[in-house]
């Protein structure tokens, strides 16, 4: 097992554990996850501006996902957060076409988690240089017709879960917890029942008793997210009374950014995602992740750990640290 982890093979860590990453095509992972001789000559480049600084990202082709799944057992595709799968005329969007390319390179045994588009679950969207109210917020029809139904048709057995991410709500603009929970309740009443739903709320003040009661009512998992303004994983878990609420007996743990570090700073520190950045990763993150994984197994729940480069510099190396802590805790 130790040699597998050293060589970035995480598929056989435990029958009730899946470790994967948020996105997958990073050229910085050549020599770790991807073979340089296979993909080193297939790198594409694109410019991206983050925090006022322009960087050039290097990406591998979608076909590299075949090699990805030799190492990991689950993959979160987060580009779906930025676009629906069908347009207003029910035609496939560019997002749909990229997802089609992924599906052609997946085996039926591979497992994908999709982020639900922000058009459906974000209260505000960045439009014209500022945040504006989202007219599609919690619109069940948009979710069903333009995302959920085409996703099921396209991905079939590979579709493991849906993540509904709620952006951070500043205190002066935050809805009351009761209004927030009531809106969630109505939304989940009007969409198809599915035991693959997971909600990520990034505002600690909204993680109330009634919030967890609504999730339990609908059999929806609460995503434990290691993220900028959220409390540590252990505290988040205790807020939900140490229970896993997803009807499919799954939990999603997302390791996104160090606590207290904004997206822009985390991205620029981690870029180009080919190594760990000294002092960047929150020191207790791997240990607390392993604790939740072990508790999930005790409760007969499968733990799906999704790791972002921004959590410390390089997702495969963070996965090693999490796996090592999990093995240590399993021996105690």
The two most distant CA atoms of the chain are separated, in Å, by 57
17-22 and 53-59 beta bridge pairing: unpaired
Q: How many CB atoms lie within 10 A of CB 228?
A: 18
Beta strands in the chain (DSSP E): 17-22, 44-50, 53-59, 74-77, 112-115, 124-127, 130-133, 159-166, 197-201, 221-222, 224-226, 250-255, 302-307
Q: What is the pLDDT of residue 153?
A: 98
Strands 224-226 and 17-22, by their bridges, are unpaired
pLDDT in tens, 258-278: 999 999 999 999 999 999 999
Cα torsion 213, 198, 262, 242: sign:
positive
How far, in Å, CA of 271 to CA of 263, rounded?
A: 12
Q: What is the pLDDT of residue 166?
A: 94
pLDDT of residue 332: 65
Phi, psi at 229, each rounded to 5°:
-105, 10
Q: Under DSSP, is residue 326 helix (H, G, I), strand (E, B) or coil?
A: helix
Q: Which residues of the chain have pLDDT under 70?
A: 1-2, 332
- What pLDDT score was predicted for residue 131? 83
Q: Residue 329's closest CA among 275, 289, 301, 269?
A: 289
Which residues is 22 bridged to in the sheet? 76
Radius of gyration of the chain (CA): 19
pTM comes to 0.96
pLDDT of residue 249: 98
Predicted local confidence at residue 185, as pLDDT: 98
Q: Are 82 and 126 in contact (CB under 8 A)?
A: no
Contacts of 37 (CB under 8 A, 6+ apart): none
| Fold (topology level) of 2-331 | TIM Barrel (3.20.20)
- Model pLDDT for residues 104-144, shown as the tens digit of each residue: 999 999 999 999 999 999 998 988 777 888 999 999 999 99
């Amino acid at each position: 097992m130790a040699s597998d982890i050293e060589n970035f093979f995480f598929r056989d860590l435990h029958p009730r554990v899946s470790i994967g990453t948020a996105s997958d095509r990073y050229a910085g992972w050549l020599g770790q996850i991807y073979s340089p001789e296979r993909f080193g000559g297939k790198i594409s480049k694109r410019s991206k501006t983050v925090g006022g600084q322009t960087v050039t990202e290097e990406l591998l082709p979608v076909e590299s996902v075949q090699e990805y799944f030799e190492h990991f057992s689950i993959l979160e595709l987060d580009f779906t957060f930025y676009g629906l799968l069908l347009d207003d005329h029910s035609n496939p969007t560019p997002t749909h076409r990229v997802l089609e390319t992924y599906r052609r390179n997946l085996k039926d045994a591979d497992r994908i988690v999709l982020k639900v588009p922000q058009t459906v679950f974000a209260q505000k969207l960045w439009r014209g240089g500022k945040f504006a109210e989202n007219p599609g917020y919690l619109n069940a029809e948009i979710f069903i017709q333009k995302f959920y139904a085409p996703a099921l048709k396209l991905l079939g057995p590979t579709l493991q879960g849906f993540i509904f991410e709620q952006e951070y709500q500043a205190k002066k603009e935050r809805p009351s917890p009761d209004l927030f929970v009531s809106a969630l309740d109505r939304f989940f009443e009007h969409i198809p029942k599915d035991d693959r739903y997971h909600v990520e709320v990034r505002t600690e003040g909204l993680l109330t008793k009634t919030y967890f009661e609504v999730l339990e009512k609908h059999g929806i998992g609460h995503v434990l997210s290691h993220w900028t303004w959220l409390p540590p994983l252990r505290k988040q878990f205790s807020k939900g009374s140490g229970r896993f609420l997803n009807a499919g007996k799954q939990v999603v743990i997302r390791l996104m950014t160090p606590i207290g570090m904004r997206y822009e700073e985390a991205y620029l520190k981690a870029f180009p995602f080919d190594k760990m950045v000294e002092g960047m990763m929150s020191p207790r993150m791997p240990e607390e992740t392993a604790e939740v994984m072990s508790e999930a197994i005790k409760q007969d729940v499968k733990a799906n750990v999704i790791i972002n480069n921004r959590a410390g510099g390089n997702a495969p190396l963070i996965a090693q640290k999490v796996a090592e802590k999990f093995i240590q805790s399993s021996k105690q």
